[in-house]
């Protein structure tokens, strides 16, 4: 009898310990209809690959007064040469003295090295280049850098994430931490992991950045969205990347 009690206790303890350590993080992919999952999984059917293909062409095209293509510095230019890069962003830019996201990094290369004009925020070219680079990190774990210079940005991202805002007076955390997995109308609230960006949203009928999605959330709680150039986005992106540390990059994903 006592032996049985011990066994029960041991099983309970093991289960409890497992539950404490098991990763409960879940990509929004897991909650999608199988038909949408299939669209993301098959590169020959994933509409985001139209942008990846365009990004590959742009990667090899010389621009700016330096007449340099991305491929002139980063070789090989074909898919694979930039593997793991997107998984590390946002990262610290010594040139700018602040954190930048992947789009910011591409813009910096353009203005600093290629000596050309920056691309418009959320433009097809910028999305295409971002998708081309991000595609090369698919399957790799999110590897947000352990860099002390990012600490202040990370803290400000966490504050923004947890701060109530907008007419609905809701924080990101209230939906995506406290109520993730619950329904908002017919939609399952995701945990808000940024692993599939840039992604093709069926609602947008186009590829869009994580900034566009964050802007979408701000509009959803009826807050004034920040302009695309606002540092708040990079701070939130960094906090989300840290939260998703180790999860697999799915870019370019598909979401409803």
Partner 1 sequence: MANVLINAPKSVKKGQAFEVKTLILHPMETGFRPGTNGTIIPRNIIEDFVATYNGVELIRLKLSSAIAANPFVAFQVAVTESGTLAFRWTGDEGFAIEQSVAIAVE
Partner 2 sequence: MQRRSFLAGTTALVAVLPLASAHATPESLQAAIREVVGSAALREGKVKIDLPALVENGNTVPLGVTVDSPMTATDRVKAIHVFNEKNPQPHVYTATLGPGLARADISTRIKLGDSQKIVVVAETSKGEFWTASADVIVTLAACLEDLT
Which listed residue (202, 229, 245, 246) binds partner 2 by CB under 8 A?
Answer: 202
Q: Does 187 bind partner 2 (CB under 8 A)?
A: yes
Could you tell me which residues come within 8 angstroms of residue 140 by beta carbon, excluding any fewer than 6 positions away?
A: 83, 84, 87, 248, 249
Phi/psi at 207 (nearest 5 deg)?
-80, 145
Which listed residue (38, 155, 163, 164) binds partner 2 by CB under 8 A?
Answer: 38
Q: Which does 163 bind (CB under 5 to 8 A by kind): partner 1, partner 2, none?
A: none
Which listed residue (81, 116, 141, 225) binds partner 2 by CB under 8 A?
Answer: 225
Label each residue of 71-96 as H, E or C: HHHCCCCCCCCCCCCHHHCCEEECCC
- Are the beta carbons of 250 and 196 closer than 8 angstroms? yes
Which listed residue (179, 184, 229, 245) binds partner 2 by CB under 8 A?
Answer: 184
Q: Does 216 bind partner 2 (CB under 8 A)?
A: yes
Strands 98-100 and 91-93: antiparallel
Q: Which of residues 133-152 bind partner 1 (CB under 8 A)?
A: none
Phi/psi at 25 (nearest 5 deg)?
-70, 145
Q: DSSP secondary structure string, 109-135? A: IIIIIS--PPPPTT-HHHHHHHHHHHH
139: left (phi over 0), alpha (psi -120 to 50) or beta: left
205: tokens are 């009928």
Burial of 146 (C-beta count, 10 Å sphere; 0-12/13-18/19+): exposed
Binding residues for partner 2, total number by CB under 8 A: 26
CA 122 – CA 228 distance, rounded (Å): 8
> CB 212 → partner 2: shortest distance, Å?
8
Q: Does 185 bind partner 2 (CB under 8 A)?
A: yes
> CB 168 → partner 1: shortest distance, Å?
23
Q: At what angle do helices 231-243 and 151-162 cross, to 10 degrees?
A: 90
Q: Which does 216 bind (CB under 5 to 8 A by kind): partner 1, partner 2, none?
A: partner 2
Q: Which of residues 90-149 bind partner 2 (CB under 8 A)?
A: none
Nearer to partner 1 by C-beta: 164 or 222?
222
Q: Does 8 bind partner 2 (CB under 8 A)?
A: no
Q: Does 151 bind partner 2 (CB under 8 A)?
A: no
Q: Which of residues 1-60 bind partner 1 (CB under 8 A)?
A: 44-45, 47, 49-50, 53-54, 57
Residue 109 annotated as catalytic: no
**From 70, 109, 172, 217, active-site residue:** 217
Task: Tell which residue, 132, 134, 141, has the closest CA to residue 77.
Answer: 132
Chain residues binding partner 1 by CB under 8 A are 44-45, 47, 49-50, 53-54, 57, 205-206
Residues annotated as catalytic (active site), given as ranges: 217
Chain residues binding partner 2 by CB under 8 A are 32-36, 38-39, 47, 184-187, 202-205, 212, 215-217, 219-220, 222, 224-225, 256
């Amino acid at each position: 009898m006592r032996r049985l009690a011990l066994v029960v206790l041991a099983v309970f303890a093991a289960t409890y310990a497992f539950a404490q350590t098991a990763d409960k993080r879940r990509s929004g992919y897991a909650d999608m209809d199988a038909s949408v999952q299939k669209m993301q999984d098959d590169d020959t059917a994933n509409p985001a690959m139209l942008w990846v293909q365009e990004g590959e062409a742009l990667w090899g095209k010389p621009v700016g007064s330096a007449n340099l293509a991305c491929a002139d510095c980063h070789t090989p230019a074909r898919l694979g040469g930039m593997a793991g890069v997107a998984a590390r962003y946002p990262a610290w830019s010594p040139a700018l003295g602040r954190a930048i996201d992947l789009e910011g990094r591409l813009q910096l290369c353009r203005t600093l090295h290629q000596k050309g004009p920056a691309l418009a925020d959320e433009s097809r070219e910028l999305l295409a280049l971002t998708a081309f680079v991000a595609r090369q990190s698919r399957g790799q774990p999110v590897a947000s850098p352990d860099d002390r210079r990012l600490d202040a940005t990370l803290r400000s991202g966490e504050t923004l994430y947890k701060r109530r805002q907008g007419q609905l007076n809701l924080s990101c955390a209230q939906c995506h931490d406290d109520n993730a997995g619950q329904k908002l109308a017919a939609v399952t609230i995701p945990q808000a992991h940024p692993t599939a960006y840039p992604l093709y949203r069926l609602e947008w009928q186009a590829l869009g950045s994580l900034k566009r999605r964050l802007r979408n959330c701000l509009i959803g709680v009826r807050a004034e969205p920040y302009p695309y150039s606002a540092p708040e986005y990079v701070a939130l992106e960094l906090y989300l990347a840290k939260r998703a540390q180790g999860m697999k990059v799915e870019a370019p994903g598909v979401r409803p």
